[in-house]
Amino acid sequence: MTLFLFIARFLLLCAAVNALQPLPVFAEENPVSAAVLAAQQQRVAAIRQASMAAVSIFAGGQGGGSGVLVSSDGFALTNFHVVQPAGVSMKCGLNDGNVYDAVLVGLDPTGDVSLIKLLGRNDFPFAMLADSDTVRVGDFCFAAGNPFLLATNFQPSISAGIVSGVHRYQYPAGTLLEYADCLQVDAAINPGNSGGALFDAEGGLIGVNGRASFEKRGRINVGVGYAISSNQLRNFVGMLRGGRLCDHATLGATVATSEDGRVVVADILESSDAYRRGLRYDDEIVSIAGRPVRTVNAMKNILGTLPSGWRVPLVLRREGRPIEMLVRLAGVHSPAELALLVEGGGAPADPRQKKQKPLDKDAPQKNPHDDTPESGKKTAQVPDIVKPFYEPRNGFTNYYFNRLERNRVAALIASRGDYAVCKGSWIFSGTLVGGGDFRIELAENFASIDLPTGTTRIDTTGDLDGNPSPPGSGGLLASLVLWRRLLQSGPQSLGRTDYWGTAPLLGVEELCDVLHSTVAAVELQVASSPADGTVRGLELWPSSQDDPCEVRFLDHTSLNQIEMPHRFEVRHGNELFAIFQIRSIEFTEIPSNDEASDRVSFLEPGLEYFTADRSL
Amino acid sequence: MAIALFLAMTTESMALRPEETIASAARKVVKLYGAGGFRGLEAYQSGVLISQEGHVLTVMSTVLDSDQIDCVLDDGTRYVATLVGVDPRRELAVLSLQATDTPFFDSNNIERSPPGTRIFALSNLFGVAVGDERVSAQHGVIATVIPLAARRGAYEAPYRGDVYLLDCTTNNPGSPGGALVDYRGRLIGMLGKELRSSTSGIWISYAIPIDELLPAYRDILDGKSVEPETSSLVVRIDPTVLGVVLLPDLLDKTPPFVESILPDSPAARADVRADDLVVAVGLDSVGSRISMSRALGRVPAGDPIQITVVRNGELIDLDLGPLPDTKKAARQ
């Protein structure tokens, strides 16, 4: 035994002597160049700047994790599995050494994301979302977070590394916590890093860390961590800000790789929108949402980053010919299912994927989110400081924030003109692209449309349920009636109206704010520009069984400083109903000191005029 | 910025950006799929393309114990690989893809890299990359170059030569056979099997220098390799003559797990137990039922039979004595 100790000491001594030998790399004939020092300075500065936005989240004795501020008014992203044990309120420490109260805003359990809001300041430091699709394997990256909850002074731990893989897919546990199209990094991601930021070299936010591959070595990093991509986060952030309980998308079809390597439809639900649009068994999927589908994994990656309810372009190939369609994506869960999963403390264990776990699952689980007002048990636990910012409601995470967003969007839309004064009839006349004239009259108690195929008139004093007039449009008159009501009297005139989130208009254009109204059995979605409130499109379902009538406003004009459409397109199902070119707009009762001629505006003829105008 | 940072980190490379180095090298790393899929026994690993003729270097492992070894390239192209030969001492296996148009690492003029060399490790770790998805890239430094058996007995591996010891966790499930490249993208090593010290429980990350492997690779191509299990001349002896009943032959190469012991047999007297895994007969390591019965056949008549089993994570040597008289009857 003595001999063993002696040998051990001797070995230690040898190691110590070895450690004293200077490393050849740092020999004096290799002075550090100015460029290298400058690069280091830049890295230090980027890390210092990015660290300001890092949040340490404490879930009150239930563990905790990390987060990252994304707006000056205190919105911060983190993981669902970090806030799940915390309930609706949590304490957050920032790099400045201060602790802030925070309230839960929105949840995306399928994507393992949640949005919280820190209270008390309007000048929080924050990180900017970068484009995660430009990230390349080998790029420098660093994580800022609170591994092992070490940050007692709230200064984040920084771990640096490279991007090890892009467009990775990590299976969900049950149906929650799916990491699709995620980033893989060798920067150390440990328990407690969950929800924290992954930054690129410039300090741009490229992802939110939340998962790692472990296996035989316990719950410590083995050089394999995963981050939810910033581009996925961008898709959901609108819904999250609206206090929603978000779901991810499914096509309603399963795919398989054929023997010759094509991705083909193996099964399809006849109730899915994809089926209604014409997708069939054995069709080859070429692309979804503009991204190529070469493997089954690629399709999972694409769908896994999209919210339920979005419409995306889909290209299929059948008998060698490509066919394009717009498909509305369904949810992975029904809303009730999702609420149950969240309330039930998360996902059941999935035996398929034991080794890839979200971090921080050691903390005991409890119901984070109980939005049924009648139960009242959770409301009692909400701390006083958070109470003014929390409103439970079925199907939502925190309806207080939905109200805020709805009011914000409604105010923006109202800013496009003093619609309230335009009483009486609104009369639009002009020509149809492809030939023929039209006249649309939206009166106080009726609406009518004259088309070359005939005249249709509906009574607007009662419900508009199931009214698809004029025939073939899917409900154009009802759409325009409700659109006028929204402009003139605001969302409260449309029955129950919620903020839906953001979605690309017709699946192809920039993200729009979307309001969702339920007027008796009719559902209406209004898409407007987040920048200025211009209404860009309407979708109306006369009943839940129908395809919607889709109205897309292509051009706008201004009449007495009131914004009005100049040209719009109407679609129903797979068909284009018509493109309306408005030549004149008349308000029959506009209170004005001016002459009556001002009620009518005759627009210059033709599309060319506006095209030219725009190019100036 | 990223470029500048990596320049700051390296003294040996000014030629390529890290993402270019990785993109180029990753095309020469393959994902291999074979036998396994049980707990702690992955059915996948990595390999490196090493010749114009489509030869792949990888580690000898249970993954290769399959009738079909699938090999997937960086672009998603799928080949069925055939086993050309193995070198058990280095745990090296050479596969052939029968392809001539695949990219490959240059195996000429490879020198030993010194400690401090910045490296990328490219591998199919955790099987996260499938189809045309690129293998994972990790970064690190060669901490030292040292014989694997420097602490003899701590790390149970047949290989006793130098390894590159790395400062990053590169040896994960699926990593073995992956490429260790320097910042110029040159292949300098092959990631080894996951290895854990039997005394301290510490896992190490290492790669075998490619210059240690190339002579064996060339020998295998020249047909000099002798795979212990390929000779059909060896007499097989059924271990039941010793009272050892093994797990039934379920797989291509079922491991020799003891299912039960016959009462009053040499095995019972030597305290062989159910659930023991036989790993060696005498000095021959065995990995399957077949290799065990062959190894028994190689024991000279009258010599005592010693076997090594794994029981509760420990290696135990057991002496079963010479074969009983039934030996002749059992010979096939």
Note the pLDDT tens digit of each residue in A15-53.
Answer: 444 444 444 555 455 678 899 999 999 999 999 999 999
* B83 is a domain residue: yes
pLDDT at A190 over 60: yes
Structure tokens that stand for A520 in this block = 């008796």
pLDDT at A611 over 50: no
β-pairing, A179-185 with B179-182? unpaired
Instruction: State whether B120 and B266 are in the same domain.
Output: no
* pLDDT (0 to 100) of residue B328: 45
Tens-digit pLDDT profile for residues A224-251: 999 999 999 999 999 999 999 999 999 9
Instruction: State whether B95 and B150 are in the same domain.
Output: yes
Instruction: State whether B298 and B164 are in the same domain.
Output: no
* pLDDT (0 to 100) of residue A610: 33
* pLDDT (0 to 100) of residue A507: 66
Instruction: List the single best residue of A162, A182, A200, A295 to mutate versus B (max B Cβ within 10 A).
Output: A162
* B319 is a domain residue: yes
pLDDT tier for residue B287 given thresholds of 50, 70 and 90: confident
Instruction: State whether B84 and B132 are in the same domain.
Output: yes
For residue A212, what are the β-bridge partners? Answer: A225, A357
Instruction: State whether B268 and B137 are in the same domain.
Output: no
Catalytic residue from among A51, A56, A66, A81: A81
Least confident of A48-52, A115-119, A256-260, A498-502: A256-260
pLDDT: is A4 or A447 the higher one? A447
* pLDDT (0 to 100) of residue A29: 58
Put simply, the chain A residues between 205 and 234 with a CB less than 8 A from any chain B CB are 213, 215-217, 221-224
DSSP of B145-203, one letter per residue? EEEGGGGTTTS--S--SEEEEESS----TT-TT-EEEETT--EEEEE---EE-TTT--E
Residue A540, classed as helix, strand or coil, is strand
* pLDDT (0 to 100) of residue B252: 67
SS (H, E, C) A460-504: CCCCCCCCCCCCCCCCHHHHHHHHHHHHHHCHHHHCEEEEEEEEE
Chain B residues whose beta carbon lies within 8 Å of the beta carbon of residue A294 = 76, 131-132
A234-270: string of b/e by CB count within 10 Å (b at 16+)? bbbbbbbbbbbbbbbbbbbbebeeeeeebbbbeebee
Q: Give the integer Cα–Cα distance in Å for A585 and A568.
A: 14
Q: Give the integer Cα–Cα distance in Å for A486 and A482.
A: 6
Domain that holds residue B247: 239-330
Instruction: State whether B166 and B213 are in the same domain.
Output: yes
* B115 is a domain residue: yes
Instruction: State whether B216 and B67 are in the same domain.
Output: yes
* B226 is a domain residue: no
pLDDT at B21 over 90: yes
Does an H or E element contain A256, and which?
strand A253-257
Tens-digit pLDDT profile for residues A349-399: 333 344 444 555 433 333 333 333 333 334 447 888 899 999 999 889 999
Residue in B6, B17, B132 nearest the CB of A295: B132
* pLDDT (0 to 100) of residue A18: 45
pLDDT at B4 over 70: no
Chain B residue with minimum CA distance to A199: B2
pLDDT tier for residue B5 given thresholds of 50, 70 and 90: very low
| Mean residue pLDDT across chain B | 84
Tens-digit pLDDT profile for residues B33-91: 998 877 667 899 999 999 999 999 999 988 998 888 999 999 988 999 999 998 888 88
Least confident of A359-363, B135-139, B316-320: A359-363
Q: Other C-beta atoms within 10 Å of A388: how many?
A: 11
* pLDDT (0 to 100) of residue B154: 66
Q: Give the integer Cα–Cα distance in Å for A152 and A162.
A: 27
* pLDDT (0 to 100) of residue B296: 85
Instruction: State whether B53 and B128 are in the same domain.
Output: yes
Whether A357 and chain B come into contact, CB under 8 Å, resolves to no
Chain B residue with minimum CA distance to A42: B1
Put simply, the chain A residues between 456 and 485 with a CB less than 8 A from any chain B CB are none
Chain B residues whose beta carbon lies within 8 Å of the beta carbon of residue A186 = 137-139, 168
Instruction: State whether B58 and B195 are in the same domain.
Output: yes
Tens-digit pLDDT profile for residues A140-167: 999 999 998 888 888 999 999 999 999 9
Average pLDDT over residues A499-507: 88
pLDDT: is A597 or A419 the higher one? A419
Looking at residue B171, its amino acid is: N
Nearest Cα residue to B226 out of B92, B87, B95, B96: B87
Asked whether the CA dihedral B39, B44, B47, B53 is positive or negative, the reply is positive
pLDDT: is B198 or A316 the higher one? A316
The alpha carbon torsion through A130, A133, A139, A144 (nearest 10 deg) reads 40
Q: Other C-beta atoms within 10 Å of A282: how many?
A: 11
* B273 is a domain residue: yes
Nearest Cα residue to B221 out of B86, B47, B77, B38: B86
pLDDT tier for residue A570 given thresholds of 50, 70 and 90: very high
Determine whether the interchain pair B6/A221 forms a contact, defined as Cβ–Cβ distance below 8 Å: no
A429 among known catalytic residues: no
| Mean residue pLDDT across chain A | 85
Helices (runs of H) and strands (runs of E) counted in chain B:
6, 20
* pLDDT (0 to 100) of residue A124: 97
* B234 is a domain residue: no
CATH code (residue B143): 2.40.10.120
Tens-digit pLDDT profile for residues A322-348: 999 999 999 999 888 898 888 865 444
Average pLDDT over residues A90-103: 94
- This model of the complex carries an ipTM of 0.79
Determine whether the interchain pair A297/B133 forms a contact, defined as Cβ–Cβ distance below 8 Å: yes
Least confident of A72-81, A160-169, A210-219, B301-310: A210-219
Q: Give the integer Cα–Cα distance in Å for B44 and B35.
A: 8
Q: Domain boundary at B186, B221, B256, which?
A: B221
Residue in B5, B128, B136 nearest the CB of A43: B5
Instruction: State whether B72 and B30 are in the same domain.
Output: yes
Instruction: State whether B249 and B298 are in the same domain.
Output: yes
DSSP conformation class of A86? G
pLDDT at A10 over 50: no
Instruction: State whether B177 and B80 are in the same domain.
Output: yes
Nearest Cα residue to A519 out of A536, A540, A537: A540
CATH code (residue B305): 2.30.42.10
Question: Could you tell me the CA-to-CA distances from A181 to A111, A292, A501, A577 in Å, in that order?
Answer: 11, 13, 22, 37
Going along chain A from its start, the domains and CATH numbers come out as 38-167+185-246+354-391 (2.40.10.120), 249-331 (2.30.42.10), 410-615 (2.50.20)
Q: Give the integer Cα–Cα distance in Å for B177 and B189.
A: 9
* B29 is a domain residue: yes
pLDDT tier for residue A281 given thresholds of 50, 70 and 90: very high
* pLDDT (0 to 100) of residue A209: 96
* B320 is a domain residue: yes
Number of domains in chain B: 2
